[in-house]
C-alpha cells in the first residue's frame, strides 16, 4: 500500500504579507466602521446627517404650516362671506301682508343663520343686484321680487297655473366663475341652509295666507302650497367645463416648477456664454435668454389649454389667446427671475437648499390662492402681492368673464415682480462672483502653505 503524500510546507512569509506590513498599505487600506482610525469620520458623518435632518425638519414644518394653516379653523370665518339681501316685498297691498319678505327678514336675523354668513340688507333692482355681485362686493345675493306676496295671493285667487312657486318667490344670484371650489364647497352650502330655514318659516305663514283668501279660492291653494317654496338659483358667470379646474388651480402652480426647470436646463449655455461675453453685456444677454425662454414655454402652456377646447374667447374674443399668453409669460417671468436669484445664492452657499426653496415658493403662492381669503387668517393676505394669486385672478377673467376692475392691479403686481427680480440679478451675480473669487484665493493660499 502506497504511503500518504506529506503536506507541502508553504512559506509563512510572502511578498503580499510583506506589503501588508508596510506603512503605505496601512494608509491606503480601508478601515472598519468602528475602527479607532474612523472616529473623526464617524463624527463627521453623524453631524452631517443631523444637520440634514434638522434642515429638512425646519423646511417641512414651515411649508406645511403655511399650507395647512390656510385650512385651520375655517368654520370660524364663515361670517366673512358677505351676502346681499334685497327684500322688495315689504308693503301690504289690499290687506295682503308681505309674508315672503317678512319670512326672509326673519331668517336673516336668525342667530344660527347669522353665524354662517354676513347678511347685509340692500335696496337695489334686480339688474343692480346682479352688478353688485359681479363687482365682487358680495359673494351672492338673496333677491325677493317686489310685491311677490301679493302676486302669490293673486295667482292662488285666479288659479293662475303659470305662476311657479318654486321659481317666482325668491332668487339667488351668484357667480361660480369667481371661485369654483369656494362656491361649490362653502357658499352654496350656506345658501342651501338659508333656503331650508326659509321653507320651514314660510310654511308657518300658510294659515295667515289662507285666511286672506276668498272661500272659493282656498281649494286652489292646495296645488300651490303643496310644492315647497324653493329658491331659484341664477348663476351669472357659470363654469361650463370642469377642465377649467386644471388651469385655475394646479396648472398655475406648475408654472413655478417649469420656471425653475428653465433655469436648470440653460445653466450649461449660460456658463458657455460667460466664457465668451464679459461684464454687463453677459448679464443683459442672460436676462434676454431667460425672457425668450419664458415666452416660448408660456406659449406652450396656452396652446395646451386651447387643445383641451377651453374657451379663451369668453371675454376678449380671439384676442383672449394673446391676453392669456401675456398672463402666462408675466407669471413665469416673475417666478423665474425670483428663482434665478435665490438659486444662485443657494448654489453658492448650500446647494441642497434649492429643492426646499422651490417647495417653499410653491406653498407660499398656492396657500392663499386655492384658499378663499374670506376663510383664512389675516396672515394670508400676503397672497395679494404674490404672482400666482394675481395670475389666478387674471385667468378667471379670461375664461369666465369675471369682474375686470382689478386687472390693472393684477398686471401691475406681475410686472413689478418681473422688473424687481431682473434688477436684482446683476447684484446677485456680482455677489456670487465675489464669493467665488474669495474662495479661489483662499484655496490658492492654502495650497501654497501646504507646499
pLDDT at 277: 83
Tell me the C-alpha distance between 365 and 386, whole Å.
6
Where in the sequence is the domain holding 306, given as residue range(s)? 242-450
Ranked by mean pLDDT, the top range of 41-45, 91-95, 397-401 is: 397-401
What does the pLDDT look like over 166-212, one tens digit per residue? 778 899 999 999 998 899 889 999 999 999 999 999 888 888 877 77
Query: Per the structure block, which three cell numbers stand in for 238?
Result: 357659470
Whose CA is closest to 280, among 430, 164, 63?
430
**CB half-sphere exposure, 395, CA atoms < 13 A:** 31
- From the CA atom positions of the chain, what is the Rg in Å? 36
pLDDT at 32 over 70: no
3-state secondary structure of 95: coil
Tell me the C-alpha distance between 395 and 253, whole Å.
13
Q: Are residues 215 and 250 in the same domain?
A: no
Q: Are residues 111 and 190 in the same domain?
A: yes
pLDDT band at 29 (very low <50, low <70, confident <90, very high): low
What does the pLDDT look like over 213-248, one tens digit per residue? 777 777 777 777 778 888 999 999 998 888 888 887
Average confidence (pLDDT) over 292-297: 92
Ranked by mean pLDDT, the top range of 28-32, 160-164, 189-193, 256-260 is: 189-193
Give the pTM: 0.83
What's 249's DSSP letter? Answer: T
364 within some domain: yes
Q: Are residues 248 and 191 in the same domain?
A: no
Average confidence (pLDDT) over 251-264: 81
Q: Are residues 219 and 268 in the same domain?
A: no
Number of domains in the chain: 2
Ranked by mean pLDDT, the top range of 184-193, 219-228, 263-272, 276-285 is: 184-193
287 within some domain: yes
Q: By the 8 A CB rule, do 159 and 222 touch?
A: no
**CB half-sphere exposure, 106, CA atoms < 13 A:** 15
pLDDT at 14: 60
Q: By the 8 A CB rule, do 262 and 294 touch?
A: yes
Q: Are residues 259 and 223 in the same domain?
A: no
pLDDT at 43: 86
Q: Are residues 272 and 420 in the same domain?
A: yes
pLDDT at 156: 84
Which residue among 235, 250, 279 closes a domain? 235
Whose CA is closest to 256, among 375, 137, 366, 378?
366
Using the Cα atoms of residue 366, residue 367, residue 373 and residue 379 in order, give the sign of their dihedral: negative
Q: Are residues 142 and 212 in the same domain?
A: yes
pLDDT at 16 over 70: no
Which residue among 235, 251, 274 closes a domain? 235
Average confidence (pLDDT) over 318-335: 93
Q: Are residues 207 and 273 in the same domain?
A: no
62 within some domain: no
State the CATH number of the domain containing residue 218. Answer: 3.40.1710
Q: By the 8 A CB rule, do 184 and 233 touch?
A: no
Would residue 94 be called left, alpha or beta, if left means φ above 0 and alpha means ψ between -120 and 50 degrees?
Answer: left
pLDDT at 410 over 90: yes
Percentage of the chain beyond pLDDT 70 is: 91
Q: Are residues 199 and 293 in the same domain?
A: no
54 within some domain: no
Amino acid at each position: 500500500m502506497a504511503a500518504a503524500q506529506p503536506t507541502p510546507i508553504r512559506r509563512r512569509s510572502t511578498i503580499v504579507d510583506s506589503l501588508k506590513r508596510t506603512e503605505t498599505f496601512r494608509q491606503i487600506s480601508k478601515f472598519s466602521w468602528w475602527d479607532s482610525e474612523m472616529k473623526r469620520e464617524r463624527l463627521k458623518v453623524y453631524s452631517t446627517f443631523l444637520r440634514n435632518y434638522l434642515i429638512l425638519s425646519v423646511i417641512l414644518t414651515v411649508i406645511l404650516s403655511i399650507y395647512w394653516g390656510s385650512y385651520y379653523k375655517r368654520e370660524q370665518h364663515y361670517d366673512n362671506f358677505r351676502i346681499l339681501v334685497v327684500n322688495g316685498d315689504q308693503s301690504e297691498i289690499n290687506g295682503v301682508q308681505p309674508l315672503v319678505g317678512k319670512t326672509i327678514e326673519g331668517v336673516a336675523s336668525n342667530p344660527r343663520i347669522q353665524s354662517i354668513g354676513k347678511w347685509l340688507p340692500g335696496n337695489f333692482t334686480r339688474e343692480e343686484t346682479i352688478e353688485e355681485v359681479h363687482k365682487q362686493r358680495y359673494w351672492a345675493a338673496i333677491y325677493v321680487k317686489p310685491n311677490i306676496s301679493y302676486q302669490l295671493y293673486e295667482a292662488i285667487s285666479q288659479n293662475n297655473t303659470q305662476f311657479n312657486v318654486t321659481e317666482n318667490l325668491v332668487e339667488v344670484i351668484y357667480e361660480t366663475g369667481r371661485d369654483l371650489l369656494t362656491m361649490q364647497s362653502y357658499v352654496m352650502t350656506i345658501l342651501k341652509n338659508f333656503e331650508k330655514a326659509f321653507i320651514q318659516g314660510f310654511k308657518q305663514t300658510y294659515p295667515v295666507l289662507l285666511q286672506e283668501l276668498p272661500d272659493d279660492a282656498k281649494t286652489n291653494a292646495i296645488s300651490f302650497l303643496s310644492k315647497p317654496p324653493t329658491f331659484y338659483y341664477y348663476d351669472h358667470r357659470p363654469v361650463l367645463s370642469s377642465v377649467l379646474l386644471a388651469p385655475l388651480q394646479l396648472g398655475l402652480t406648475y408654472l413655478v416648477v417649469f420656471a425653475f426647470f428653465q433655469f436648470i436646463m440653460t445653466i450649461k449655455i449660460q456658463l458657455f456664454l460667460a466664457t465668451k461675453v464679459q461684464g454687463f453685456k453677459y448679464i443683459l444677454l442672460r436676462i434676454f435668454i431667460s425672457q425668450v425662454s419664458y415666452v416660448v414655454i408660456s406659449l406652450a402652456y396656452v396652446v395646451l389649454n386651447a387643445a383641451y377646447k377651453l374657451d379663451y374667447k369668453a371675454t376678449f374674443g380671439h384676442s383672449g389667446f394673446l391676453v392669456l399668453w401675456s398672463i402666462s409669460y408675466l407669471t413665469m417671468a416673475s417666478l423665474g427671475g425670483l428663482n434665478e436669484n435665490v438659486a444662485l445664492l443657494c448654489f453658492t452657499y448650500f446647494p441642497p437648499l434649492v429643492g426646499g426653496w422651490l417647495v417653499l415658493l410653491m406653498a407660499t403662492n398656492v396657500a392663499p390662492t386655492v384658499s378663499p381669503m374670506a376663510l383664512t387668517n389675516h396672515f394670508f393676505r400676503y397672497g395679494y402681492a404674490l404672482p400666482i394669486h394675481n395670475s389666478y385672478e387674471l385667468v378667471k377673467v379670461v375664461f369666465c368673464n369675471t369682474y375686470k376692475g382689478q386687472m390693472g392691479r393684477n398686471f401691475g403686481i406681475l410686472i413689478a415682480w418681473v422688473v424687481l427680480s431682473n434688477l436684482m440679478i446683476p447684484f446677485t451675480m456680482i455677489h456670487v462672483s465675489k464669493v467665488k473669487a474669495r474662495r479661489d484665493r483662499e484655496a490658492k493660499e492654502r495650497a501654497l502653505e501646504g507646499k
